[in-house]
Amino acid sequence: MSARLSEIHRVTGLVLVAAVLTGLAWMSGHSHEVRDTDTAAGTVVQNSRLLMGTQFNLSVWVPIERAPEAAEALLDTLDQIEALERQISDWDPNSEISAVNRAAGQQAVRVSPPVRELVATAIDWSRRTEGAFDITGGALFELWRRARQEKTLPSDQDIASVLPQVGYQQLELEGDNVKLKRAQMKIDVGAIGKGFAADRAAAYLRAHEFPDFVIDAGGDLAVSGRRGNQAWDVAVRHPRRDELLATCAVTDCAVATSGDYEQYVTVHGQRYSHIIDPRTGWPASDAVSVTVITSRATDADVLATALSVMGADKGIALANSLPDVEALIFKSDGSRALSDGLRLVDNRLEKVP
């Protein structure tokens, strides 16, 4: 986060969504009332930790007398996310995902219930997005990661040689056993892990009777309840410039954004995103940023990545075909595309009544 934006964040206590292009007002049927705030009777307790290669910021609203209890609950929640990271990280050699990767082309590996759930959800979304989202793209994503570090492009030959190691059809889940059927295949949970972690953190807080919170998993948000009498404020910033575009009020939903603004390589004046089409081996290029709003953070995270790969027309069509999924796409030509359930009113995004 830039110094300027983090300053605004610190002063106002806004939650920043990475690079969303405009304001969101997502009230799940409530009408937004800004009364004299109730927050005098309550307080927002916060904690942060670097996890999954990003910063997790957790905020819980509680009546003042529950503040110490909330602080404990946040520590426990962060510990839970850290434990999940140790299970799903693809770079930690001791994780379950690394064990699955090492056994590629050989045998199945028994995994724990959360890893099973993550893999099952990923396979389901790969089918529904016809492979635009695919966690088995690890070898391909690594090729592009190296290219970004070296500021070069991989050759057609490099890409052709890793494509046979990509494909969710070769990822088998039977009971608690996960198997990558081809040698050298590699699972990468980069496009689903943060959202999945946010949902688990949300479930943990709700189970401990903290219904009012924002979990910000590096820009992927799970928002629940309210901050006293008010909805949570979400500030959004421009995908290309260091400025806030709008602030907005949200409650009870998940918001995730994917785009080429955070990790990319520029070669011969062309920007290549870190989001890769697993079918062609080449980066997504139609969308600068994709924001998805839905109930579960896991789905928002997956779909923000998948819609980036599909591009605006197919991406919006998919969002329109799914119940409870809305999307906002900022295209490389500067235009915007919205799913049917959204409209822009004076730079604020609203649900179509």
Q: What letter represents residue 306's amino acid?
A: A
Residue 275 burial by CB count (10 A; 0-12/13-18/19+): exposed, middle or buried? Answer: buried
Task: Find the binder of Mg ion among 18, 74, 100, 191 (CB under 5 A).
Answer: 191
Partner interacting with residue 188 (select from ligand AMP, Mg ion, none; CB below 5-8 Å by kind): ligand AMP
Partner interacting with residue 278 (select from ligand AMP, Mg ion, none; CB below 5-8 Å by kind): ligand AMP
Dihedral through CA 47, CA 116, CA 320, CA 333, nearest 10?
A: 60
Task: Confirm or reject binding of residue 190 to ligand AMP (CB under 6 A).
Answer: yes
Task: Find the binder of ligand AMP among 58, 95, 96, 137 (CB under 6 A).
Answer: 137
Task: Confirm or reject binding of residue 274 to ligand AMP (CB under 6 A).
Answer: yes
Task: Confirm or reject binding of residue 305 to Mg ion (CB under 5 A).
Answer: yes
Of residues 284-303, which lie at the interface with Mg ion (CB under 5 A)? 301
Task: Confirm or reject binding of residue 191 to ligand AMP (CB under 6 A).
Answer: yes
Gap between the Cα atoms of 236 and 352, Å rounded: 20
- Separate counts of helices (H) and strands (E) for the chain: 9, 19
SS3 content of the chain, % helix, strand, coil (to 5): 35, 30, 35
Which residue shows structure tokens 């970004």? 148
Task: Find the binder of ligand AMP among 23, 154, 278, 311 (CB under 6 A).
Answer: 278
Determine the size of the site formed for ligand AMP (CB under 6 A). 17
CB of 191 or CB of 255, closer to Mg ion: 191
Task: Find the binder of ligand AMP among 85, 96, 188, 216 (CB under 6 A).
Answer: 188
Best CA proximity match to 171, nearest among 219, 115, 215, 216: 115
Task: Confirm or reject binding of residue 119 to ligand AMP (CB under 6 A).
Answer: no
Task: Find the binder of ligand AMP among 26, 56, 125, 133 (CB under 6 A).
Answer: 133
Best CA proximity match to 302, nearest among 97, 118, 52: 118
CA 262 to chain centre: 13
For residue 227, give Cα distances in angstroms to 206, 208, 351.
15, 17, 21
Task: Confirm or reject binding of residue 308 to Mg ion (CB under 5 A).
Answer: no
Task: Confirm or reject binding of residue 196 to ligand AMP (CB under 6 A).
Answer: no
CB of 237 to Mg ion, least distance (A): 18
The piece of 57-65, 146-154, 189-197, 310-318 that touches Mg ion (CB under 5 A) is 189-197
